[in-house]
Amino acid sequence: ETPEVPETPEQPETPAEQVTLTKVTNVNMLTDGAKILLTYGDEFTVGAYDESKFASVAFAATQTTINADQKVIVLVKSGEYWALKVDDKYISYTGSKNNVQLSDEINASSQWTISVDEEGKLIITNKATPERLLQYNASNPRFVCYKASSNQFNTEAYVINWTADPVAPVEPTDEEL
């Protein structure tokens, strides 16, 4: 009788890439292709999408990795507007309620103007429906579109900078000396 071979334990996931986060304090820090986290202060960031809203998940400005439940948003310059790409789709606003949608293409509903106020808060305004802002609801934690008069909270943003793995110094060869 052959002995039973124990199952090989699963290997741990590859360590997450190290990042540094830089708080956006002016609109010039936003560039085409930049990867950002939209946040509510130093507490929450955009999480999973569920047909009408983005959940809020824990966030800390001092974190050094991006957690799997945190959604990285890629800024895409579209003329004088921005498209906010998450999971290969674009955040859009197409309704009469506060819900946000995800679109496969860039159009007026998925284009946004972004400005930064003196407190470092982003004012993210929908092109097709300019009275709608992408904001955070602290009493019912989520990121959706509200009218400016709704007294919800403008978001903040952090640009993600991936840090390269340390590279060992290369010793010069005898020929290079």
pLDDT in tens, 32-53: 999 999 999 999 999 999 989 9
Q: What is the pLDDT of residue 17?
A: 77
Q: How far apart are CA 159 and CA 137, in angstroms?
A: 22
Bridge-partner residues for 73, per DSSP? Answer: 36
What residues pair up with 83 in beta bridges, in sequence order?
A: 76
Residue 112's pLDDT is what? Answer: 98
Whole-prediction pTM: 0.82
* pLDDT at residue 149, rounded to an integer: 84
Which pLDDT value is given to residue 3? 47
Alpha-carbon distance of 83 to 132, in angstroms, equals 15
3-state secondary structure of 133: strand
Residue for token digits 């952090």?
158
* 3-class DSSP assignment, residue 69: coil
Cα separation, 42 vs 20, whole angstroms: 14
Please, which pLDDT band fits residue 176 given cuts at 50, 70 and 90?
low
d(CA 7, CA 130): 58
> Model confidence over 92-128: pLDDT tens digits?
999 889 999 999 999 999 999 999 999 999 999 999 9
